[in-house]
Amino acid sequence: MPVNEKAKLVAKEELILGIFKFSVVAPEIVEQAKTGQFIEIRVNDDIEPFLRRPISIHNMDRKSGKLEFIFQVKGKGTEILAKRNVGDLIDVVGPLGNGNFDYSKYEKIGIIGGGIGVFPLYELAKNAKNDGKDVSIYLGFRNKDLVVLEDEFKNVSTNFILTTDDGSYSKKGFAIDFLKEDIENGKVDSIYACGPLPMLKAVQKLAIEKNIPCQLSLEEKMACGLGVCLGCAVKTSDSTKEAPQYKHVCKNGPVFDAKDVEI
């Protein structure tokens, strides 16, 4: 059940230019939150900017009630958020979403993320590793300057691949090509993905082709975050041209089975 918490900002760090990691104390949210869920943040007490910002949970510590989230400064809202100071109380609603990452039935976990989509995958990788699973992580970034969290992800993996589109750092190419190779070599038995839409589409296609279970974490423009406004619609695969069917990222997701959605 989501709650509204005034969460104290206890640490903030600019990881790379324009990308901030915030650590807040939100014990009621952390107590309930499942892997893959998200929060909605009101960046100030004003009516401008108007809506809350949906942001994924990056990492949680159940004992201390600490929650970490990472965001990129993209517009007015995130700009204001980035300027909040340690000690401030941040207005957070969460945990939100009902579709979670679930790897319990599988052993060889393949996690693929691209760009700022890698953030929600950390909690997943950490938990899977702690549960003794084989965790293969494939992260793709456009170039060297955009690489984040390399060491963090490496530490929660058994097999780690980092790619840049232009080859300016680590392996050149797309992360999905390495994932594909490992699927073919039997190193991965399930896929968990978050990232830009073209990557998600390619992952979905690959998973269906190889008949491998796959979960995708999606995003869509959102208002309430609770399943009320029905704004963040995503078409489901049982749609027909005459009768489209929709689910909602905030209520039914943000994590969906790759077979269930048309992205």
Partner 1 sequence: MNTKVNLAGIEMKNPVTVASGTFGYGREYSEFFDLSKLGGIITKGTSLKPRSGNKPARVCETASGMLNSIGLQNPGVEYFAENDLPFLRKYDTAIIVNACGSSIDEYVELCRILNTLDIDGVELNLSCPNVKAGCMAFGNTYEGVKQVTSEVRKVLDKPLIVKLTPNVTDIASIAKAVEDAGADGVSLINTLLGMKIDINKRRPMLANNTGGLSGPAIKPVAVRMVYQVAQAVNIPILGMGGIVNGDDAIEFMLAGANAISIGAGNFIDPYTSVNTVKGIEDYMKKFNIDDINSIVGTAEMN
Cα→Cα distances 189→61, 107, 137, 213, Å: 28, 7, 13, 7
Select the span of 102-110, 136-144, 189-197, 222-230 touching partner 1 (CB under 8 A).
Answer: 222-230
Q: Would you say 17 or 243 has its CB closer to partner 1?
A: 243
73 binds partner 1 (CB under 8 A): no
Cα→Cα distances 247→43, 139, 236, 244, 253, Å: 27, 28, 6, 10, 8
52 binds partner 1 (CB under 8 A): yes
Tell me how far, at minimum, the Cβ of 53 lies from partner 1, in Å.
10
**Which position among 24, 26, 55, 93 is part of the footprint of partner 1 (CB under 8 A)?**
93
Tell me how far, at minimum, the Cβ of 7 lies from partner 1, in Å.
15
47 binds partner 1 (CB under 8 A): yes
Tell me how far, at minimum, the Cβ of 235 lies from partner 1, in Å.
8
**Which position among 197, 230, 238, 262 is part of the footprint of partner 1 (CB under 8 A)?**
230
Rg of the chain over Cα atoms, rounded to whole angstroms, equals: 18
Tell me how far, at minimum, the Cβ of 118 lies from partner 1, in Å.
23
Supply φ then ψ for residue 234, to 5 degrees.
-135, 135
**Which position among 51, 73, 80, 82 is part of the footprint of partner 1 (CB under 8 A)?**
51
> What is the C-alpha separation between 120 and 137, in angstroms, rounded?
13
Q: Would you say 133 or 247 has its CB closer to partner 1?
A: 247
Locate the DSSP E strands across the chain: 3-16, 19-25, 38-42, 53-56, 59-61, 66-72, 89-96, 108-114, 134-141, 159-164, 171-172, 190-194, 214-217, 233-235, 246-248, 255-257
Supply φ then ψ for residue 240, to 5 degrees.
-120, 170
Q: Would you say 86 or 229 has its CB closer to partner 1?
A: 229
> What is the C-alpha separation between 160 and 135, in angstroms, rounded?
8
16 binds partner 1 (CB under 8 A): no
Q: Would you say 49 or 115 has its CB closer to partner 1?
A: 49
143 binds partner 1 (CB under 8 A): no
Strand, helix or coil for residue 124: helix
What type of residue is 128? A
Positions touching partner 1 (CB under 8 A) are: 1-4, 42, 47-52, 77, 91, 93, 220-235, 243-246
